[in-house]
Amino acid sequence: MTAQADAAAIDDALKEAAGLLHGKRRVVVFTGAGVSKESGIDTFRDIGGLWEMFPPDEFATVSGLAQTAMKDPKRLAQFLKEVLHPIAHASPNAAHDAISKLEDHFDVDVITQNVDHLHQDAGSSRVHEVHGSLFRVVDPGGQPLRVLRREQMKKMAADLNRLSSSRFFTLPRVLRAVQPLLGLGASVMHRPNVVLFGEGLNEPDWSKAQKAAERADVMLMVGTSGTVWPAADLPLVTAEAGGKIIGVGPEEGDADLWLQGNAATVVPALLRQLKAEA
Ligand code: OAD
């Protein structure tokens, strides 16, 4: 296809998407790592993604993390830095901003698998974090203890970076560097409220997300591979209840309509189309 034909096809798809949304009230935006890609946070499963360098069985389960900490604390420090640094330095991109502005047109629930707090920072008012949040620290029973600031995250990432090249590297020092997340010195260990593999999803967000998906007239699915269950079930919940699914991402997936491209380009273009037709 020529560039001209390409642009015309994108235009047609945007018009079709605006048509699917026309006159609808309840919209769910279901997001994954791809929506934050242009904020500088890598996805998990694309080439060069987090799981390529750090396999989930070693870094995304409680037992895997404990074993990695004992066997190879330097790798654990690298992993923590790779996770914390981009999130600490991120700010919302044009996709997060456009998603928050969809509230001018619809009753919007954002359901996100991301733990980076960027939808809230962009101004979305109803965000369900089904995989939790890196910013909320909980006790072992899941009770909320404190909310971290991005500045604290930046300091932890910088401390881990310094420590990685120090000849006085030890596991206790790694744990001390991430003290705001783990609360060392407390009688029990704290943890960030992120969902690891094998754990239940974050409540009450998960229950609210399921209800929102069931009620949605349209679900805009942005930047997710849809491979991690049970979150991946949400588009099916919407479809089964009669709602339409619009997908956004560079690689076409399963949806009633696919808008191909990066979230930070496509979602603002869709918003412009909606405004033009309003
Ligand atoms: P994945 O890494 O599995 O998928 C990211 C998706 O974003 C892929 O479909 C990419 O094609 C797409 N993508 C890449 N760049 C994009 C861009 N600029 N704009 C739009 N889309 C883009 O990430 P998730 O689907 O979020 O869970 O993964 C789901 C869960 O798996 C995560 O929440 C995490 C992970 O393991 C846990 O750790 C429990």
CA distances 220 to 18, 109, 160, 217, Å, are: 11, 10, 37, 10
Is residue 50 lining ligand 1, measured as CB closer than 6 Å? no
Query: Which atom of ligand 1 lies at the shortest distance from residue 226's CA?
Result: 25
pLDDT at 6 exceeding the cut of 80: no
CB of 130 within 6 A of ligand 1: the answer is: no
- 263 within ligand 1 shell (Cβ under 6 A): yes
- Mean pLDDT, range 247-260, rounded to an integer: 96
Q: Is the pLDDT of residue 187 over 70?
A: no
pLDDT (mean) for 21-33: 97
Residues 6+ apart with CB under 8 A from 248: 220, 221, 222, 223, 258, 259, 261, 263, 266, 267, 270
pLDDT of residue 85: 97
Q: How high is the pLDDT of residue 61?
A: 95
Give burial (CB, 10 Å; 0-12/13-18/19+) of 176: middle
* Closest residue CA from atom 33 of ligand 1: 113
pLDDT classification of 10: cutoffs 50, 70, 90: confident
pLDDT digits (tens, 9 = 90+) for 28-49: 999 999 999 999 999 999 998 9
**Residue 255 pLDDT class (50, 70, 90 cuts):** very high
Range with the lowest mean pLDDT among 34-43, 85-94, 118-127, 136-145? 136-145
121 is written with which tokens? 């920072």
pLDDT band at 191 (very low <50, low <70, confident <90, very high): very high
Structure tokens at 140: 């072992």
What are the tens digits of pLDDT across the range 226-246?
A: 999 999 999 999 999 999 999
Q: What is the rounded distance in angstroms from the CA atom of residue 150 to the CA atom of residue 236? A: 35
Read off the pLDDT of residues 57-112 as tens digits, 9 standing for 90 and up. 999 999 999 999 999 999 999 999 999 999 999 999 999 999 999 999 999 999 99
Q: Decide if 119 is catalytic.
A: no
Using the mean position of ligand 1's atoms as its centre, give its distance from the Cα of residue 168 in Å: 36
Q: What are the tokens at 237?
A: 């919940």
User: What spacing in Å lies between the alpha carbon of 43 and ligand 1's midpoint?
Assistant: 5
The answer to pTM > 0.85 is: yes
The answer to whether the CB of 244 falls within 8 A of the CB of 217 is yes
Q: Supply the residue whose CA is at minimum distance from atom 32 of ligand 1.
A: 113
What is residue 278's predicted lDDT score, i.e. its pLDDT?
81
Query: Does any ligand 1 atom lie closer than 6 A to the CB of residue 68?
Result: no
Nearest to 113 by CA among 176, 172, 197, 57: 197
Percentage of the chain modeled with pLDDT above 70: 96
**Shortest-distance atom of ligand 1 to CA 51:** 36
